[in-house]
Amino acid sequence: MKKAVLEGLLFVVGEDGLSFEQIEDVLDIDLEEAKQLILELKEDYQKEDRGLRVDFLGNRFKLTTKYEHREYYQKLIENPLTNTLSQAALEVLAIIAYNEPITRVEIDKIRGVGSVQIVRKLVAKGFIKEAGRSEMAGRPILYKTTSEFLDYFGLAKIDDLPKMEVIQEEEDLEKDLYNSKYEE
């Protein structure tokens, strides 16, 4: 019975998704049982004659359609994929995701080019949000990614990001100081 209720709950919340805490509270069960229920429901949906699946996106369980059925949805919707993010926006997002929380000036430094507009747009889109202020001079705003960001890229949690490979040459502190006069 509880499994059926859970299914209904997932339907009701839609894209907002459910957290473990919510499942526990609403069904009045403990974490173990909640995990068990989710697992069972997930397995039910894996059957080929089911059209939905239980996905873990942006730290929440969501009922989604199946990727395998995409061609049918494409047929249904005439204009899919019109509004993807620009290369610049992707760069800024990547930099924030791997360094959060981070200030805008630090982002600019890595990209070698200003990012004011892009950061503003990403905030408005809900992919990043302000996360307090840095201790640096001027107390600039810090930014970090949101669960909407994770969901948008089909990620369950921030650790699911691919590993970054930077082959850094050995840093030389003294040289850094020398060069720092070129920075704002």
Partner 1 sequence: MNVEFVINDFEGPLDLLLHLIKESKMDIMNIEIESITNQYVEYLNKQESMNLEVASEYLVLASELLEIKSRMLLPREKMEEEEEEVDPRDELVNRLLEYQAYKEITKVLKENEEKRSEIFTKTPENVDQYMDEVHGIVSDVTLDDLVDAFKKYLERQKENKPLKTKVTVKEISIVSRRHDIKKILSKKKKVSFFELFPIVTKEYVVATFLAVLEMAKNREIKIVQEDTFSEIIVEAV
Nearest to 65 by CA among 26, 10, 140: 10
Figure out which of the listed residues 30, 50, 116, 126 binds partner 1, where binding follows CB under 8 A: 126
Minimum CB–partner distance for residue 51 and partner 1 (Å) = 11
- Cα 72 from chain centroid? 26
The structure tokens listed for 27 are: 């069904």
Could you give the C-alpha distances from 27 to 5, 53, 58, 94, 107, in angstroms and in order? 8, 21, 22, 38, 44
By CB under 8 A, is residue 166 in contact with partner 1?
yes
Q: What binding mask, one character per residue, do residues 15-54 give for partner 1 by CB under 8 A, x or -?
A: xxx-------------------------------------
Partner residues linked to 18 by β-bridges: 61
Angle (CA) 169-171-177 rounded to 5° is: 140
Instruction: Pick from 20, 45, 56, 98 the residue near partner 1 by CB under 8 A.
Output: 98
**144 close to 128: Cβ distance less than 8 angstroms:** yes
User: Which CB sits closer to partner 1, 31 or 70?
Assistant: 70
Q: Which stretch binds partner 1 (CB under 8 A): 20-28, 31-39, 41-49, 76-84?
A: 76-84
The 8-class DSSP code of residue 166 comes to -
The binder of partner 1 chosen from 91, 131, 147, 156 (CB under 8 A): 91
Interaction of residue 112 with partner 1, rule CB under 8 A: yes
* Other CB atoms within 10 A of residue 98 CB: 16
**Residue 105 interacting with partner 1 (CB under 8 A):** no
Residues 34, 25: Cα–Cα separation, whole Å: 10
Contact call for residue 173 and partner 1 (CB under 8 A): no
- Is omega for the bond preceding 101 within 30 degrees of 0, making it cis? yes
Binding site for partner 1 (CB under 8 A): 11-17, 55, 57, 62-67, 70, 73-74, 78-85, 87-88, 90-91, 93-95, 98, 110-114, 121, 124-126, 151-155, 161-162, 164-169, 171-172, 174-176, 179, 182
